[in-house]
Structure 1
Amino acid sequence: MRTNYRRWTEYPYAGESIPPKGSPEAGFWPMFFISRGRDNNFLDPFHQRINWRIKNPEGIDWETELLIVEQTLNSLTPQQIHIAQYWGTGELTDKITTIIFRLAKKYKLGSPSVARVQGYFHAAMNDAFVITWFFKYHWDVARPNQYGRNLSTVLFTPRFPAYPSAHATVAGCAEAILSYIFPRESFEIKKVMEESAQSRLYAGVHFNVDNIEGLGLGRQIGEVVVSLLRTQNLNTLQ
């Protein structure tokens, strides 16, 4: 079946002659809070089917999205370049874990509470990556550098499909969970996680819609986790 967008597996990256090859296995790894039913239906911890709130890429105007990438890269500020480099180098979850420890210290959480928060957080990150990889390879959406526009990107383009952005999905999931645990910090947490998602546009490796939809998907995954936390007596920490 043909699509109205370029397929990641069909177009070479800029400066290359053959299309990239991927590794979709992570999209089928075991999960902690979400389970996989028949025909790739996903179930929440209460065994209810999840209806994912993410746009089908067939309904996205990818030419307009490409124009946004080009305009962004042509007008980058030093601050935006710094944001792209900060969030795009090293392990993303390491940066978020640093935030967790900072907030734990601020609110004087004991070691058992910190361990529990970390456990829920990292288990949720696993599920966020699995769902993201499932959609990435299910839809097989090309990256901006596969359109032959000679983009001058800030970072190297990752070797897996674009849609949705994993950075954005992880950020959205982290936002939902950490805002529940640290409600007084929710405004700042939201601001930081949106910056993390936006950094992928600044880097030139994602379309803007990859980030917007990724954030939404991540927040939905986070809501699934929070719905369980409410029943597990993990109260918000003041």
Structure 2
Amino acid sequence: MRESSIWLVGLLACVACSDGPTLPVQDEPGSAGARWATWVLQDGSVLRPSAPPAASSEQARLEIEEIVRLQSRPGWEAEVRRWEGAPSLPWTHQTLDLLEFYWPLLPDVRVATPARAARIMALLHVAQYDALVATWDAKYSYQRPPPFVADSRVHAAGAVAGVPSYPSEHAAVAGAAAVILSYAFAREDTAEFQADARRAAESRIAAGVAYRSDVEAGLALGRAVAERVIQRAMADGSDAVWAGSVPQGENLWRPTPPRRVSSPFDPLAGSWRPWVLQRVDAFRPEPPPALGSEAFATDLNELRRLGTERTARQGDLARFWATDAPSTRWELFLAEEISRRGWSALRAARAQALLSVAMYDAFLACWDAKFHYWLARPITADPRIATVFATPPFPSYPSGHSTISAAASEVMAELLPDAAKTYHDKAYEASLSRVWAGVHYRFDVVAGEQLGSRVGKKVVEYGRRDGSAFGGK
């Protein structure tokens, strides 16, 4: 550690006197990040790369010269800025853009159903997080000073994390993301994912914070981590084909107008493998109110009244939350917080993994209940109900939006205690939006809120045991 402290003092001195637009990185965990608990890897050391080139080697000299040449070219800062900040965020946004492309293709192309969209985000963020923990293990095993510390001709551009440079964290995240996206969106031009990964990784060379050998090691490490995540994904049960049939009976689900999709979305999602929950039915809600009961009639009559009493604001909020993948709203909320607060690579990736896992596990718990009870949608009980948009093609009870939003708000409150009320309020708004839209009974959303909160708290408990400095108070 003495050697580390010597070069770190030098690094800070370089930053202080740099002419470049250097910025601080908040909440850098240092060597402790190498010991944070991982999701798929046994620990951060299992894929440790071989040692980097020695500082006195010809390869290191040539790599320094490459950086000097890059920084002498006009316009080199543009690519650096494009990939600046927490390295996971550009890939989050790219994945959300891809999901948005696939939503209009539903129900014919079922890449971006609610549960499958959440699954993709969880795979992406788990892979990025595990890749970063493995990167931190290697960084503090080899203690390689970054190029701008090694040679005064190299300038550090953008944020400086104050960590060893080998391997590159941007490269590790990019390598992992490209592999996950190639798996999740196999219809796309997967070569472009790899090209984006290369651009993201090499931007750190021009930034003066990584050698080429740092980048190559990071890309390889990220890819290796992602392959392990995909091995798990291929055995999670999501490829099972439903061979069942829609049950027949009073107040049981049936296809709803206008498209009357006969095959509901992901009826087997309740059997997929969760990340944190031991059993997806552990918190299964009690049965919904029976048709003809006072409780059922009360909530049905509320929906009938909304046809004439719905306010403009209620309609607007119903449409705001009316995404085919409600988890994506929460992914964006967190991405905005990470950018605004300037979180470090590891802290950002940890937060994103916890949020995505909570929503994925919540979807599984919700879908278990939906296809256990097979409750008909309100429009089936009364075709005169005026909905804001078409009713989604799967059973009513409990509400998916309510379940995943409650789970998400528990994690967001843990990650952002100063904004806990804001996100609990958003979850409540998301939940009520389904009643305002006319596609859910109030008892659907209440059950979803309770279910999601219990799932979210389980994920929070998991996060508090992961060894990070941000495991809750």
Distance in 1, matches of 2:435 and 2:289, equals: 20
Q: Give 1:6 deviation, angstroms.
A: 1.2
Q: Does residue 182 of structure 1 match 2:424?
A: no
Q: After the TM superposition, list the runs of 4 or more consecutive aligned residues in structure 1 that deviate by more than 6 angstroms.
A: none
Provide the residue aligned with 2:270 in structure 1. 27
Whether the 8 Å contact between 1:141 and 1:163 is mirrored in structure 2 is yes
Provide the residue aligned with 1:65 in structure 2. 299
Superposition pairs of residues 164-179 of structure 1, within 5 angstroms: 164-179=398-413
Superposition pairs of residues 75-154 of structure 1, within 5 angstroms: 75-154=309-388
Change (3 A) 1:19 1:228: closer
Distance in 2, matches of 1:148 and 1:200, equals: 16
Q: Does residue 56 of structure 1 match 2:287?
A: yes
Distance in 1, matches of 2:399 and 2:465, equals: 30
Deviation string 1:67-115 (CA, Å, 9 cap, x unpaired) is 1111223211111111011100353222111110222233321122111
Q: Which runs of 5+ in 1 are unaligned?
A: 43-49
Residue 232 of structure 1: which of 457, 460, 466 is its match? 466
Provide the residue aligned with 1:203 in structure 2. 437
Distance in 1, matches of 2:380 and 2:312, equals: 26
Percent identical residues: 26
> When the two structures are aligned, how many residues end up with a matched partner?
222
Q: Does residue 217 of structure 1 match 2:217?
A: no
Whether the 8 Å contact between 2:362 and 2:404 is mirrored in structure 1 is yes
Distance in 2, matches of 1:109 and 1:92, equals: 24
Whether the 8 Å contact between 1:183 and 1:236 is mirrored in structure 2 is no
Distance in 1, matches of 2:261 and 2:252, equals: 10
What letter corresponds to residue 79 of structure 1 in structure 2?
R
Residue 7 of structure 1: which of 252, 260, 265 is its match? 252
Q: Give 1:15 deviation, angstroms.
A: 6.8
Distance in 1, matches of 2:305 and 2:403, equals: 24
Whether the 8 Å contact between 1:53 and 1:220 is mirrored in structure 2 is no
Q: Give 1:21 deviation, angstroms.
A: 3.8
Distance in 2, matches of 1:130 and 1:53, equals: 11
Distance in 2, matches of 1:218 and 1:90, equals: 18
Q: Give 1:196 deviation, angstroms.
A: 0.7
Distance in 2, matches of 1:84 and 1:13, equals: 19
Whether the 8 Å contact between 1:176 and 1:222 is mirrored in structure 2 is yes
Distance in 2, matches of 1:53 and 1:76, equals: 31
Distance in 2, matches of 1:7 and 1:134, equals: 15
Q: Give 1:129 deviation, angstroms.
A: 0.9
Q: Give 1:14 deviation, angstroms.
A: 5.2
Distance in 2, matches of 1:177 and 1:204, equals: 28
Please give the secondary structure, in 2, of the residue aligned with 1:167: helix
Distance in 2, matches of 1:227 and 1:128, equals: 15
Distance in 1, matches of 2:271 and 2:382, equals: 32
Distance in 2, matches of 1:32 and 1:15, equals: 36
Provide the residue aligned with 1:192 in structure 2. 426
What letter corresponds to residue 170 of structure 1 in structure 2?
I
Provide the residue aligned with 2:160 in structure 1. none
Please give the secondary structure, in 2, of the residue aligned with 1:158: coil
Q: Give 1:20 deviation, angstroms.
A: 4.3
Distance in 1, matches of 2:316 and 2:355, equals: 26
Distance in 2, matches of 1:96 and 1:15, equals: 28
Provide the residue aligned with 1:46 in structure 2. none
Distance in 2, matches of 1:184 and 1:217, equals: 24
Instruction: Determine which structure has greater relative contact order: mean sequence separation of CA pairs < 8 Å that are 6+ residues apart, divided by chain length.
Output: 1
Whether the 8 Å contact between 1:5 and 1:58 is mirrored in structure 2 is no
RMSD: 2.6
Q: Which runs of 5+ in 2 are unaligned?
A: 1-248
Please give the secondary structure, in 2, of the residue aligned with 1:66: helix
What letter corresponds to residue 270 of structure 2 in structure 1?
G
Change (3 A) 1:193 1:15: closer
Distance in 1, matches of 2:309 and 2:395, equals: 25
Structure-2-length-normalised TM-score: 0.44
